[in-house]
Chain A
Amino acid sequence: MSELSQNIKTQSHPAGLDRPAGNGQKNFDKTHPILSSGIGLRAEHYKDFIDTKPSVGWIEVHPENYFGGGLHRHYLNEARKDYPLSLHAVGLSLGSTDPVDEKHLQKFKELIDIYEPFNVSDHASWSVSGNAHLNDLLPLPYTQETLDTLCRNIDQTQDFFGRKILVENPSTYIAFAENAMTEYELMNALHDKTGCGILLDINNIYVQSVNHKFDAWHYIDNITVDAVGEMHLAGHTEKDINGERFLIDTHNQFVRGDVWGLYEHAVRRFGAVPTCIEWDLDLPSLNDLMGEADKAQSIVNEHTDQNLKVYNAA
C-alpha cells in the first residue's frame, strides 16, 4: 500500500474553515458594526467584495445558502474576517401552525456558532403547510391566533438558539378581512411578548401602504422605538392593475425616492440602526450597490448622533 500512495502529497483540509473555538473564545474579532450601513452579500459579488474590501459597516446573507460547504462557505469565511455579519433567514416559516422544523433550526444554529452574527432574523410570514414548502413569504391574517402562533414559534426559535432574534415585516399583496389589529400592532406585540426585535423593512412598509392603501408614515410613528434592531431598504417594481398602482417587492433595482424619504423619517425616529440594502435579482455592480449603502449612511450621518444602536441578543 505504501507503494500505492507513493508520490502523493498530503492534501490539506478544505481551505479557510473556521470552526467554533469553544471555551467562549471568539472565532472572529469583528462582532458588531460601527457603521450603520450594510449590504446583502450575493455570490456574484464575493470575489469583488473580498478583493476590494469596500467601506461598508457589515454584511447580510441568507443562512439557507450556507447549509452545505464548498465555495459559498469559503467566501463567507473570507468576508467574515473583515466584516460583522447578520444572518437573515427565509425558511423558518414562523407563521405556520406547525412548529418550526428542528432540522432547519439545527443547521441554522451551526452557522450561528461558527459565524457569530450580531443579528439573526426571519419574517412574520409562513411558507410551510403540511408537506408543502411554498418557497415564498406568504401573508398572515392579523388575529389573536396568528399572534399566538408567531409567538410560540419565535419562543421555540429563541430557546433553540439561546438568543433573541429579529422578526421582519413582510411585503404582502393581499389583505385579510378578519384582521383584528394592524401590522404595526402585531409587530409591537411580538416584541412585547417574546422579547424579539423588529427588523423593519422600510420598502415593505411602503409597498404595502400602496397595495393596501394606508399611511406608511403613521405605521413608522407607531412602531416601538426600542424594538427596532435593523432596517432594510430595497427596490420594488411598479405595476398598473385595473388602473390601480400596485407594487411588487422585487429587490431588483435601486431604492426608489419615496422609500428614501420614508427611511429618513424612520432614521429620525429610530436613530442610527444597522440598515441593509437588499438586492437579489438583476444584480448591479458592487460599486452601484455600495452607492446605495453610502446614501443610507449619509442620511444616518445627517439626522442622528451616529451612535449605532444594536439590538441586545442576550
Chain B
Amino acid sequence: MRLKDLQNRFSDYIADLKLQNSGDDEFNGQFVNDAIPIETRLNIYQDGVYSTCVSVLMNNHPLLKDLVGDDFLRYMAIEFAKNNLPTSGYLNEYGLNFPDFIYKFKPAAGLPYLYDIARIDRGWNHAYHADDVPHLDPQSLHDVSPADYAFLKMTMHPSVTFVKSDYPIWQIYQYILKNRGGDDTQLRSEITPNAAKDPDALPEKAEEQDNTSDIPPPDMNTGGENVVILRDNLMVKVYPLDEDNFQFLVNLRDKKTIGEASGKVMAKFPAFNLAKTFRGELKRNIFSGFQLSK
C-alpha cells in the first residue's frame, strides 16, 4: 500500500470511534500479526489521540470544570471530540468551537449560561497565549490635536475578547473564584502528545453523566452581564463591562472612530461619559495602537 493511502486509512481508523473493527483484510494485512491483536495495538493510538483532545479541553476550561465538575466536563469533551478531531497542529487552538457545541448539547440544556462561561474560558486561554504586542502608551496620544480626537481609530490588543451574555456571567465568574478560595493561579500547563496518555481520559470510559453540580449559581433573574478578557502585560484579567461601555468598545473594535462609537452609544445611553470611559480603558491596557482617520 502506498504511504499516502496507508496514512489515510490509519487516520480514518483512528477518527472513527464507532467502527473500531473497521480494518478490512487489506488494511490489517499491513501489520505484523502476533499474540497481541492488531485492533488492540491500533486502539492504543486511538486512545492517545482522543485522550489528548480531552486533556486539552479539560485544561482549557477550568471555569466549566468548577461549575459542572470533572466527570460532566469530561463527558462533554469526549462527545465533542468524537466529531471534532484537531485540524491544526497548534493544540492551544483546539476546541475553538467547543462553546458552540455546548450551546446545543442537550444534557447541558438546564445550565444555559455554560455556553457563556465556556467563552470566558476560551477568551482567557486566547489572552494567555496571545502574541507579545506592546500596550498603547497613553503618552503617545499627547501628540494628537484635540480637534482630531473624534477621528481616532483604536487598535485592540490581540489578547482582547468580549463576551456578551443574557445571564449574570460576571457574578457567576466571581462566584467560581470565591469557591476556589481565591486561588487565581495564572500558570497553565502544557499539553503535548506525550503528556496525554491519561488512562482516565480514554473514550471507553465515557458514560452518560448526570450533571450533579452542587454549586448553587447566583440569581439568574438579575439580567445579562458582559465581560472583557485581556492580558495586561503578563497577567490575564477579566473585567465586567456595563452595556454602554461594552457597546463603545465593540464599536471601536469594529474600526469605528471614537466619534462614531461614542455617538452611537450616546444615542442609547445619554449619560455615557466618554472621557471617564476612555481613560479607564487606557489604564486597563486594552489598546495597542491608534490611527488618525480623516
Contacts and interface: CB of A to CB of B under 8 A. Distances in A.
B2 interface: yes
Contacts of A137: 193-194
Contact of B41 (A134, A140, A174): A174
Interface in B214-265: 231, 233-234, 236
Contact of B233 (A14, A173, A174, A252): A14
B275 A4 contact: yes
Q: Interface size bucket, B side?
A: 35 or more
Given A14-B234, A135-B89, A241 B194 contact: no
A96 interface: yes
Nearest to B53: A135
A17 to B, nearest CB: 6
Contacts of A255: none
A-side binding surface: helix, strand, loop or mixed? loop
Contact of B131 (A2, A69, A130): A69
B171 to A, nearest CB: 27
Interface stretch (B107-115, B160-168, B276-284): B276-284
Contact of B128 (A3, A47, A70, A145): A70
Interface residues of A, number: 78
Interface string A122-159: 00001111111111111111010110010000000000
Contacts of A69: 129-133
Interface string B1-20: 11110111011001100000
B189 to A, nearest CB: 5
A90 B192 contact: yes
A104 B85 CA distance: 19
Contacts of B135: 11, 13
Across the A-B interface, give the 6 residue pairs with the lowest CB-CB distance, nearest first. Answer: A69-B132, A68-B129, A280-B195, A91-B89, A5-B138, A129-B11
29 contacts: A5-B139, A5-B282, A8-B138, A14-B134, A44-B189, A64-B89, A64-B91, A68-B92, A70-B129, A70-B234, A70-B236, A90-B192, A104-B89, A132-B87, A135-B49, A139-B45, A140-B3, A145-B3, A146-B3, A173-B41, A174-B44, A175-B31, A175-B32, A177-B29, A178-B1, A243-B35, A244-B36, A246-B36, A281-B196
Given A130-B11, A237-B197, 11 more contacts: A1-B149, A4-B275, A14-B134, A62-B192, A65-B192, A69-B132, A127-B193, A133-B87, A134-B86, A178-B1, A278-B194
